[in-house]
A = this chain, B = another copy of it.
Amino acid sequence: MPTQKQMPRPTTKDLAKAAGVSRATVDRVLNGREGVKQKTVDRVNSAIKELGFVRNLSAANLARSKSYRFVFALPKSGDQFLEQIVRHISEAETIFSVDHISCEVHHIDENDPHSISAYLATLNPDSVTGVAIMAPETPQVRDAINRLQERGVAALPFISNQTMMDENWVGIDNRAAGATAATLLGRFIHAPSGAIMVVAESMQSRDSMERRLGFDDVMNMHFPHLRALPSLETYGVSERAKAIISTTLQNNSDIVGIYIMSSEARGPLTILQDVAPDSSVVKIAHERTPFTEGALRFGNLDAVIAQDTGHLVRSAIRRLKGIVDQRETLKSQEKIRVEILLKTNI
């Protein structure tokens, strides 16, 4: 029974001894204080490597009685998807409280980049450790994010993507999401030909555009017998939605599939059930909400493309904390998956 010796982790004291300096100097190096000769810095750093020293974060946070205060800047509009997110934020707070993390939701006007950037400008490191920002991409917001980071507040685009943020955001690959919707529609539809209605809230947003791109890619490539119609934009107004949806249905008697791209499926789907209650049409929507779950169960939806909102929230928190602590986060854990929900795996 070869039980490995349980070597305790080296401490700053061990470090000091190994580097032949005092604990005070070790502290100076570890916390980047100035007034240390380069040679000494090097000596300490190589001792760190040699011993495999990692600072004990709990002890450090205890000593400076540090706590993390994160803000989620979310759009005002209260659709079910956002409700889920808010719910998961408070849920996450309970489990992250052991790490002294607290979270707060701040509602922003997603259509007013100026007010968003003004709000972000008010945040300072003393009161807020980090922000997760869900807002459409605009130059103002991007600048505000950069300035936040310079000021020492961690900032992270959340769900809504921002160009040039590349790896540095939390959310799904929307192109893959659209492609997945197309694949499912294509394979679920048995008709030899027909049209597919695509409903969006607005095609202005980067997310919608990417979804549509991925959708069209797959449609053109693999299902040329199906005709994807131009995206209908509801602008979140139900009268308008009703009008354009019923017009489209009238003008295209061969509709065999419907792709609801927006994160709020309730409106369009309810209208569809009013206008065309029969329907052997294949229907796919986005995001898990109480409504889409119900629709899946009752067979009013055939599939849902979703991102796990709980995971989104926890991932954002972990990554904000990672930025603050200057630690890497685990990529494989933080990747948000494009989930497919059927009646059987809700």
Contact = CB atoms under 8 A, between A and B. Distances in A.
B54 A97 contact: yes
A95 interface: yes
A164 interface: no
B180 A69 contact: no
Contacts of A3: 127
Contacts of A59: 58, 62
A57 interface: yes
Contacts of A337: 308, 339, 345
Interface residues of A, number: 54
Interface string A301-332: 01000001010001000000000000101101
Contacts of A332: 88, 91, 310
A342 B188 contact: no
A69 B6 contact: yes
Nearest to A94: B330
Nearest to A58: B58
A187 interface: yes
Interface string A148-184: 0000000000000000000000000000110110111
A61 interface: yes
Contacts of A218: 344
A280 interface: no
24 contacts: A6-B127, A8-B65, A9-B100, A54-B98, A58-B58, A58-B98, A62-B62, A88-B332, A91-B332, A92-B330, A95-B333, A179-B344, A180-B342, A182-B344, A184-B342, A187-B187, A187-B302, A308-B337, A337-B339, A338-B345, A339-B340, A339-B345, A340-B342, A340-B345
